[in-house]
A and B are shown apart, each in its own frame.
Chain A
Amino acid sequence: MQKFIQARALIYRKFGDPREVLELETINVSAEPGREECLIEWLASPINPLDINRIQGNYALKSELPVIGGSEGIGRVVKTGSGSRFKVGDHVTIFSAETPFWTEYSIVNDDELVHLDERIPLDLAATLMINPPTAWIMLQKYVKLEKGDYVIQNSANSGVGRSVIEMCKVFGYQSINIVRSRPNIEQLKTELWRIGADHVFTEEEFKETSKKFLKSIKTRPKLALNGVGGKSALQISAVLERSGTCVTYGGMSKKAHEFTTSALVFNDIQVRGVAVGMWARREENLDEWNHCIDQVQKLAVAGKLTAIPMEKIRMSEHKKAIKKSLEGRSIKQLFIINSSTSTSSNSHL
């Protein structure tokens, strides 16, 4: 008879309002991983905007219901099946179309698992597979940048934005960072300067001072990174160097991305877009993707990438956490699923 363990998991059985359709349930997970499979004890996983979209059924790829929530996270191997390339205690994450992170345990095939360096802090490891690779790909794959070149971005305070700042520092690029104005703006600026931002402006400040500022720098930015859309996309793309590129990775404002006709026609800028999940799954990008993950992990181990500020919560607090994520005013919510120091987890088995 097959042995099972019980796991609590956040599951949705239909698409809809995440506050309503997401439920904490207890499920049975096989205690015996099959050939080239592992039993994973999940440690931490954030609530990303992507999760919200998926639960609402608004994401380009719809999963087959019911679905265990989550889009990235970190777990630990507690048992390995025969022929598995992993060993007990390995830190892992999933990179696959199906990403059931919001559960205490699951069985995952080796093919879908990526090994994470155990030296990477837990909160950073839990958010390593989407934002830092997005930043890495955008900085590496669209424009050939030299040391000292400028990169401009909006949404500089987002997960991707912070990774961009930190990677610009590593690669020797100068980052120009636009954020929305807010009550504690000076504090935010200080924080972004601390992680390596060269210049930080609010949208309003940049509108007023961009002409003067752009005259003060040697060359205009060759790359603009856009996670916002609307007029903000226009603002950062209009100051690009001739034949520069604007790469879009999100549309937080929910408004269409705007670009001036003259930037496209007379200044020959290019507008591109990237969704890291799709990019990574393209056959021709496979080697590059593996290289990217490798580099991102090295930067994380070296302390050159840091975790974004997150609020740690338990899965039982999901309603409150989802509400905060939907409102978008709070910092990112991170589910702490199993204690990372627990070595007694095998006792459940």
Chain B
Amino acid sequence: MLKILSLRSSIQRAASTRQLVYEGYGNPPEAIQLKSVNIAENPAAGEVLVKWIAAPVNPADLNQIQGVYPVKPTLPAVGGNEGFGKVISVGSNVTSVKEGDHVIPNKSGLGTWRELALHSESDVFQIDQNLPLEYASVFQVNPPTAYRMLKDFINLKKGDTVVQNGANSAVGKHVIQICRILGFKSVNVVRNRDNLDELVKELKNLGADDVITQEELYGRKKKFPGVKLALNCVGGRSSLFLASLLDHGGCMVTYGGMSKQPVDCPTGPLIFKDISLRGFWMSRWYDIQKTPEKRQDMYKELAEWMKSGEIVKQEFVNNRLDDHVKAIENAQNKHDKKQLFLLD
């Protein structure tokens, strides 16, 4: 796939590579085009040449192409914010990564739906080289989101209870598993559906202590003592009842708004139980890290849990770049399995 073009009058050699580009905001399946471009084959000082291996299609990617995401890359832009690749070569003065390292983006809007690219050293971040593809390609957003929300807001102790809605989401499933690993109880709210029993079974297999439907949450029949942390990605009524479950001093962290409704909170718990509402955005967390240590520690712990199988692999639908229209349409319309581009 990698064609080397010799340019007669130059020592610099160029490589042709393919990428999924959008030149203007719009409906993602139409806005995205597959293009071939030439890039310099030898990284300049401070640059690295990365061969991207796999990259998912996330909701945030689609929002970005629609122009409704807060991070707006300069247009034209390459799609994709997540994924992993392998360092092929490094320019002079590069110290944080070396040839052969596996890397993920170090910032939002880097553009991962491509085969080969030159990046500034500071735009990529090294991860565990032995992490299987299914983990490495979706390592940057969901597992760390679950991890940080469980660590950064409330000092949870073994036996404390965490409640969450959207428990069936990728973040939700990581929350369940990390709770199990760290000894927290999890109460998981899902929407009612035809195959509810199957879903309950799946989440309990991951380590969920309780799985209830939204209707059961609203019915308030079940009591859950000791709820310190609530994780909300739905909003509206669901957040209202989630907040009501919190114990004195508890915190509800919002990281999404699937219902498109505002986050609701009742007066009583807010003023008499001293609960607080916070928000979490993974990109911002990455942006405000001044040194890499906290990120490295987190990646190390997550990678260990993944390699040992304590966190299970996600399931994907694999796509090639040529299938981009289908992949992006499926990502918009089918939410059961994540769409993944295999770029190698």
Contact = CB atoms under 8 A, between A and B. Distances in A.
B262 A259 contact: yes
B279 interface: yes
A266 B263 contact: no
Contacts of B255: 265
A268 B271 contact: no
Contact of B262 (A249, A258, A272): A258
A249 B267 CA distance: 8
B254 A261 contact: yes
B262 A275 contact: no
A60 B256 CA distance: 31
B202 interface: no
B268 interface: yes
Contacts of B274: 272-274, 278
B257 interface: yes
Contact of A257 (B254, B267, B272): B267
A270 B277 contact: yes
Contacts of B284: 266, 268
Interface in B267-316: 267-272, 274-281, 284
B131 interface: no
A263 B262 CA distance: 10
The B interface is mostly helix, strand or loop, or mixed, namely mixed
B240 A263 contact: no
Contacts of B70: 262, 266
Interface string A241-271: 0000000111100001111111111111111
Interface residues of A, number: 28
A249 B271 CA distance: 6
Nearest to A61: B272
Contacts of A257: 264-267, 270
Contacts of B235: 261
Contacts of B256: 261, 265
A278 B279 contact: no
B279 A256 contact: no
A264 B257 CA distance: 10
A69 interface: no
A234 interface: yes
A229 interface: yes
Contacts of A60: 268, 272
B265 A270 contact: no
Interface in A77-122: none
Contacts of A258: 262-264
A264 B263 contact: yes
Given A264-B278, A264-B279, A270-B277, A256 B240 contact: yes
A273 B270 contact: yes
A265 B69 CA distance: 12
Contact of A265 (B240, B254, B265, B271): B254
Contacts of A260: 262-263
B233 to A, nearest CB: 9
Interface of B: 70, 235, 240, 254-257, 262-272, 274-281, 284
The 9 closest A-B pairs by CB, nearest first: A264-B279, A261-B257, A273-B270, A251-B267, A271-B277, A273-B271, A258-B262, A265-B279, A256-B264
Given A256-B266, A261-B235, A273-B272, 20 more contacts: A229-B267, A234-B262, A251-B266, A256-B264, A257-B270, A258-B264, A260-B262, A263-B279, A264-B279, A265-B256, A265-B279, A265-B280, A268-B281, A270-B277, A270-B278, A271-B270, A272-B276, A273-B271, A273-B275, A278-B271
